[in-house]
Structure 1
Amino acid sequence: MHLACLSAGKTFIREVARTGQTIGTVHTFGALHRGQAELIRRAAVENDVAIVTVHPNKIQLRSGGSCDFNLDEDIGLALRSGATAVISSNDTEMFPPGYRTVIAQGDGHLRLGGPDTCLDEAVTGAIRWICYARPTRSYFGLKDIGRAILVKRAVADLLLDCEIRFVPTVRYKNGVPISSCLRRFNPSELDELSCLFTTLNDVRKEIARGVSSVKDLVASTTPQTKFRLFKLDFVRILDADSFEDLAQAKLPLIIFGAATAHGLKIFDSIYVPDQDTLVKGPSDIWIDLPERCWPDDCTL
């Protein structure tokens, strides 16, 4: 079922709530991919009704940026993945004249990825949809670790009655996390980008072996990362709550890195909340690499 405006979606949501059914939500920009399909699948399995929202949150886009997507294709993927309903909207509905509210959570978002990551705006978009849909549970992928953690914090701080569920990162079998923005990269470039995950995972293994000096851990990454087309921007080890850089590795933590190619900065991370994850590695979901190159259709 596709509901093409907020009022139609609200009517559906109210009827679901009246019958006492549980609701799971997945909130997207559009341009859905197999990583988001996993979020939708889990929302469908764990709830009576699974709702997917589709709208490129313009306050989250860089100035002049856009995200091209095919709504019909997104609806098809969402429904095949188990969605009960897809609710879409537009800027006229979502950002009427006078709109001015943004959720602020201090400077943690700047410590994580800098101002270009627009995390305040990403959290604002997610919280608006949660307030609208009133889900029992809402699903966020650990690929976007900053958004996932800050949305969970915002839900708790604002006393919203919604459980935030984290879903493991979906990766190609070479380690690259699935992202709509990687559509511009061909398979050989994706193979090279896999070095970033390998580097982060090697850092995890070193911490598990007892190395705790972040300076030493980060220094060891440069010779390991074999990039030709990409440029390694940084590898950092962060506190998982404050996003502050650590001097000594201490759980829970995030091993966070970035590389740049084609003018696009690609982030990757490993979330290590506990000793079991540190020793065994994250419970990521692995899929085959694409067999074709994608068009350059995402300019976030």
Structure 2
Amino acid sequence: MKIITSIAEWRSIRSQLRNRSIGFVPTMGYLHAGHLSLFQQAKQESDIVIGSIFVNPLQFGVNEDFSTYPRDLERDVKWLEEMDVDYVFAPSVEEMYPSPISTLVSVKNITEMLCGASRPGHFDGVATVVLKLFQIIQPDFAYFGLKDAQQVAVINQMVYDLNVPVQIRPCPILREKDGLAMSSRNVYLSAEERDEATILYKTLQWAKEQIEAGLRDTERLEKGLLEQLKNSPLANVDYAEIRHYPDLQKKKQIEGQVLIALAVRIGKTRLIDNVILEIK
């Protein structure tokens, strides 16, 4: 496995791989099994697999955790070596943004609710860095976890609107044995908070059961989500919403493909989780 830190170096390598399919897994590092599942899928579908490790400052707002976001490049590299990943692109902030950036990619409509409502500018930062990475890496396939289903919807829309020649591969959420969605931010949780964090998965399971039992009223089910989350004294709810997916529009009746999405602070740690259901 080769570690690349400069754009110019990767472009030189990429020019020699024209007849090989490239699978790309963009990450912010501090990898866990959820990330590794993306690499596993990439290895099944691509001749060459490259992952990026870059904590993108553009997608962090004021008072968010950019400076303290967990980082351990040495550990991440070791894990990817063991998986026989071909390349790791690990640029510095200065390499990605050598001067203050004047161009931002803004995807409308689907970024103004859910995480977009509470994190203004977040998805502009995500779309901008992902498009930059696509321009640099020039992959055939790109792999994203559905734990951030809104992010997947945003990237799909950007790729469609701008005719970016890459196929997006959404990958399922990986969970701990007790249901907690795997996340780099889980390391922030104390032992007590870690126990309380399972309320997200329990609430999603409750909602799934209600829908399977025939409940179709969106407002009623959203009120139920909030009531379920009250079972955790440490849970501070950012949102608990049901949206049609992937356009993220609100409907009175639950039908078609729907996203049940939660964002909850457990202590100081903001966790997101979701389930996507097909309702006939």
Output the TM-score relative to the length of structure 1: 0.85
Q: Does 1:171 align with 2:175?
A: yes
Paired position in structure 1 for 2:232: 227
| Cα distance change of structure 1 residues 115 and 102 upon mapping to structure 2, 3 Å threshold | farther
| Paired AA for residue 131 in structure 1 | Q
Distance 1:223 1:59 in 2: 35
Contact 1:34 1:178 (C-alpha < 8 Å) held by counterparts: yes
1:198 aligned to 2:202? yes
- Counterpart of 2:134 (choices 130, 134, 142) is 130
Deviation digits for residues 10-45 of structure 1 (CA, Å, limit 9, x no counterpart): 22222112xx11110001112222211111111112
Q: Which shows bigger deviation, 28-37 or 64-73?
A: 64-73
Select between 68-77 and 217-226 the one with higher mean Cα deviation: 217-226
Secondary structure, counterpart of 1:174 in structure 2: coil
Structure 2 CA distance for partners of 1:34 and 1:219, relative to 1, 3 Å: same
Q: Give TM-score scaled by structure 2 length.
A: 0.91
In the other structure, the counterpart of 1:119 is 123
How many correspondences in the alignment? 273
Aligned counterparts, 1:203-282, within 5 A = 203-225=207-229, 226-272=231-277, 274-275=278-279
**CA offset digits 1:35-89 (Å, max 9, x no partner):** 1111111111211110001111111122363224121111112222331110111
Cα distance in 2 for residues equivalent to 1:202 and 1:268: 14
Q: 1:80 & 1:186 partners in 2: Cα distance?
A: 30
> Secondary structure of the residue that 1:220 maps to in structure 2?
helix
- Return the alpha-carbon distance in structure 2 between the equivalents of residues 75 and 230 of structure 1: 34
Unmatched segments (≥5 aa) in structure 2: none
Identity %: 22
Aligned to 1:296: none
Please point out which of 88, 91, 105 is paired with 1:89.
91
Q: Which residue type is aligned with residue 36 of structure 1?
A: H
Matched residue type, 2:140: T
2:113 is the alignment partner of 1:108: no
Instruction: Name which of structure 1's ranges 94-103 and 251-260 shifts more when overlaid on structure 2.
Output: 94-103
Instruction: Report how far residue 181 of structure 1 moved.
Output: 0.9
Per the alignment, residue 295 of structure 1 pairs with none
* Pairing partner for 1:76 from 50, 75, 78: 78
Paired residues of 2:145 and 2:172 also in contact (CA < 8 A): yes
Q: Distance in 2 between matches of 1:55 and 1:271?
A: 28
Q: 1:140 aligns with which of 144, 148, 153?
A: 144
Equivalent residue of 1:271, what SS?
Answer: strand
CA distance in 1 between partners of 2:133 and 2:81 (Å):
19
Could you give the per-residue CA deviations for residues 144-184 of structure 1, whole angstroms, max 9, x where no partner exists?
Answer: 11111111111111111111001000111211111111101
Q: CA RMSD in A?
A: 1.9
TM superposition shift of 1:215: 1.6
1: CA distance, partners of 2:262 / 2:246: 17
Shift of 1:263: 2.4
CA deviation vs aligned residue, 1:175-220 (integer Å, no higher than 9, x gap): 1111111101145432321121111122122223321101211222
User: How far apart in 2 are the matches of 1:96 and 1:168?
Assistant: 35
In the other structure, the counterpart of 2:29 is 30
- State the alpha-carbon separation in 1 of the partners of residues 101 and 238 from structure 2: 35
- Give the Cα–Cα distance (whole angstroms) in 1 for the partners of residues 80 and 9 of structure 2: 18
The whole-number CA distance in structure 2 between the counterparts of 1:223 and 1:61 is 30
Match in the other structure for 1:294: none
